[in-house]
Amino acid sequence: MRLLVLSNESTGAGTSAPTVITDGVPLQRAVLGQDIGQGFTEDVDEMEALVEAVVSAGTTGTVDYVRLYGWSPDAISANKWFPIGGGPAADTGKLNSDATTAYKFEETGTDIIRHAERIRGLREFTRIYAQYGALTNVTRLDVTLSSRGPVR
C-alpha cells in the first residue's frame, strides 16, 4: 500500500484553487525529476481519498468541502489544473456529494471527522492538489491518497 499526503494543514480560512504546477504534489513517480520514492506507478488509476480532521475538544467541527484537482501537462492553457470528478459547475471535483449538506464534512465520532471515497481516472494527471473550504474548530486536516497498486 502506498500513501501520498496531499494536505496536512490547519488554517481556518481554507485554501484557494491551484494555478501553477508547484501548488500540487507529484502523483506519479519519476515525473519532472522527482525522487523515485514519491507518488504512484504510472498504471495506478484508482485510489481512495482519505479525509481526516481533528476537532477541538468539546466543540462541533466541520470542513466546508474538499475538492481535488489534477495537473495535465497536455492542457492547452497555462493553468493546467482540472477539477477531478463530477458535480455541478461550481462544485465539480468536490468530495462527499451525498452528505446531509452536500460536500460538507461533519464529525463522524467524538472530535474526529473521517471520510474515504474512491477516485478514478487519474492516470493522465502528473500532479494532484487538494483544496479545502473553511474549517470550523478543526485543528488539523489531512487529505491523503491511498492505493494498493503495484510498487516498483
For residues 149 and 79, the model is more confident at 79
Q: Is residue 74 part of a domain?
A: yes
Q: How far apart are CA 94 and CA 110, in angstroms?
A: 24
Q: Is residue 152 part of a domain?
A: no
Q: Any idea which of 61-65, 82-86, 137-141 has the lowest mean pLDDT?
A: 82-86
pLDDT digits (tens, 9 = 90+) for 89-139: 899 999 999 999 999 999 999 999 999 999 887 778 888 899 999 999 999
Supply the range of the domain harboring residue 116.
2-147
Instruction: Give the total number of structural domains in the chain.
Output: 1
Give pLDDT, residue 36: 46
Q: Is residue 96 part of a domain?
A: yes
Give pLDDT, residue 108: 97
Q: Is the pLDDT of residue 38 over 70?
A: no
